[in-house]
Structure 1
Amino acid sequence: MMHLQGVPDEIMCRVFPTTLKGPVRICYSRLTANSISTFKELDAQFVSHFIGGHRYKKSTACLMSIRQREDETLRSYISHFNKEALSIDKANDKILVAAFTNGLRKGKFLFSLYKNDSKTMSDVLYRATKYINAEDALLAREEKPRKRERQEDARSDRGRKMTRTGE
């Protein structure tokens, strides 16, 4: 702002440190006295020092390397994939769908995606959510009889123990 208003370098160099906090202020305090003569030099010093901490957006190519691990659930893969996809600048929906599908393990869900071509990532995620919910429901249904069997086994074990002890 001061540069746009034509404020002289000397004033900008004196005002600049009042705007600094944390590591930036420490970096400024380590500069050798009288080592900078223009604001442009000061700017260059800070840019060269802090450029390494700059986070660059990833390209869509990195999504193609994401794979669902053998032990990874679909829910976990979606979370992992979405985290990476958010770090990409202007990701194209077709590329997202292709990368997501490419990384999926072989199975019923992948087959269903190939069978019914999805055009958008939101459609893929919607279908994945339905698939996950169906899997969860089937697992819950299978676990109920097992619980009952375990309870019955525990009761019969107690009954056997009681008859052996004569109670």
Structure 2
Amino acid sequence: MMHFQGVPNEIMCRAFPTMLKGLARIWYSRLTPNSISTFKELGAQFVSHFIGGHRYKKSTACLMSIRQREDDLLKSYISRFNKEALSIDEANNKILVAAFINGLQKGKFLFSLYKNDPKTMSDVLYRATKYMNVEDALLA
């Protein structure tokens, strides 16, 4: 905003640290005095130092790699799957359902999903809850 308002470099350089918190503030405080002469240079150094901390968007393709392990209970598979699904910004319901089913172990629950094709992830989770309740009742 200051750049668009024509604020001089010197003032932008002095205002910059007031917006910093945590590690960014520590990084700034460790800069050698008078080592940076322009705001553009300050910005470039900041970006080059912190570029590694950038959170990259995950694609829905990474959901296809999540698999229910042999020793995994359905509950733990659902938990892992949901955690990954939440990290994807634009997850389509059809893709979520397909990826979830793709990762399931062969068994009665997978068969029941194929038998009555669920349309939404809510359907899948509702049916999974019913299935887990039946499993728990049989184990008890």
The answer to whether TM tops 0.5 is yes
Aligned to 1:123: 123
Shift of 1:4: 3.2
The runs of 4+ residues in structure 1 deviating greater than 6 Å are none
Q: Which has the higher contact order (CA 8 A, sep 6+)?
A: 2
Larger Rg: 1
Deviation at 1:29, TM superposition (A): 2.0
Please give the per-residue CA displacement for 1:104-125, whole angstroms capped at 9, x wherever unaligned: 0000000000000111111111
1:87 is matched with: 87
- Measure, in 1, the Cα distance between the counterparts of 2:55 and 2:68: 26
| Residues 43-97 of structure 1: per-residue CA shift (max 9 Å, x gap) | 1111111110111121111111111010100011000100011111201111111
Determine the C-alpha separation between the residues in 2 that align with 1:109 and 1:129.
11
| Higher fraction of helix | 1
Distance 1:6 1:14 in 2: 15
Number of residues paired by the alignment?
140
What is the one-letter code of the residue matched to 1:40?
A: K
Q: Give the match for residue 63 of structure 2.
A: 63
CA distance in 2, matches of 1:21, 1:65: 36
Unaligned 5+ segments in structure 2 are none
Aligned letter for 1:50? Answer: F
Instruction: Please give the TM-score of this superposition, normalised by the length of structure 1.
Output: 0.79
Deviation at 1:39, TM superposition (A): 1.3
CA RMSD of aligned residues (A): 1.3
Say if 2:31 is the partner of 1:31.
Answer: yes
Give me the TM-score of the superposition, normalised by structure 2: 0.93
Corresponding residue number in structure 2 for 1:51: 51
**Aligned position for 1:161:** none
Percent identical: 86
Partner of 2:90, secondary structure, is: coil
